[in-house]
């Protein structure tokens, strides 16, 4: 009698074994994605595919989400690679993060003349006080 302890996960769910959604493209706000698309010269469809890649989705999962053929996703991925001068998903992720860091800061993130930030927030107690877990 064999036991199979593997956890099955749908390819397009983006969830880990515990059912918690992995951050992926949610790390960046939607407005930042639009700015990145403009900065990198990407079409809206290429940007959607880049977000899918950022989420760790395979081409067939991206195709199912967008309602198109995996071959179409593959073609857009090749064009995306050519526009960003990369050759792999990892290089694309690095390119996206580098472009994100190069974007100008929004007015809310720029300091006043006195050096203080407009919306300076104190760290949340939830982020600073973490309970010890076994």
Domain of residue 99, CATH code: 1.10.10.10
pLDDT band at 24 (very low <50, low <70, confident <90, very high): confident
Residue 112 lies in a domain: no
* Residues near 74 by beta carbon (within 8 Å), at least 6 away in sequence: 59
Q: Is the dihedral of CA 81, 84, 85, 88 positive or negative?
A: negative
**What is the rounded distance in angstroms from the CA atom of residue 47 to the CA atom of residue 12?**
17
Q: Quote the pTM value.
A: 0.62
The total number of structural domains in the chain stands at 1
Q: For residue range 53-93, what is the model confidence (pLDDT) as tens digits? A: 999 999 999 999 999 999 999 999 999 999 999 999 999 99
* Mean pLDDT score across all residues of the chain: 75
* Collapsed DSSP state (helix, strand, coil) of residue 21: strand
- Report the pLDDT value the prediction gives residue 103, as an integer from 0 to 100: 86
Give the domain range for residue 69: 41-103
Residue 49 lies in a domain: yes
Residue 5 lies in a domain: no
Tokens of 60: 């067939």
- The yes-or-no verdict on residue 10 having pLDDT over 60 is no
């Amino acid at each position: 009698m064999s036991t199979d302890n593997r956890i099955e996960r749908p390819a397009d769910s983006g969830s880990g074994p515990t059912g918690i959604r992995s951050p992926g493209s949610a790390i960046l706000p939607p407005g930042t994605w639009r700015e990145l698309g403009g900065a990198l010269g990407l079409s809206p469809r290429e940007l959607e595919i880049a977000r899918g890649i950022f989420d760790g989705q395979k081409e067939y999962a991206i195709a199912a989400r967008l309602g198109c053929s995996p071959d179409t996703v593959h073609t857009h991925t090749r064009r995306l690679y050519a526009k960003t001068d990369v050759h792999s998903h990892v290089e694309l992720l690095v390119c996206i993060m580098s472009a994100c860091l190069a974007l100008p800061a929004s007015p809310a993130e720029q300091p006043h003349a006195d050096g203080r930030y407009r919306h300076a927030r104190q760290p949340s107690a939830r982020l600073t006080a973490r309970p010890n877990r076994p």
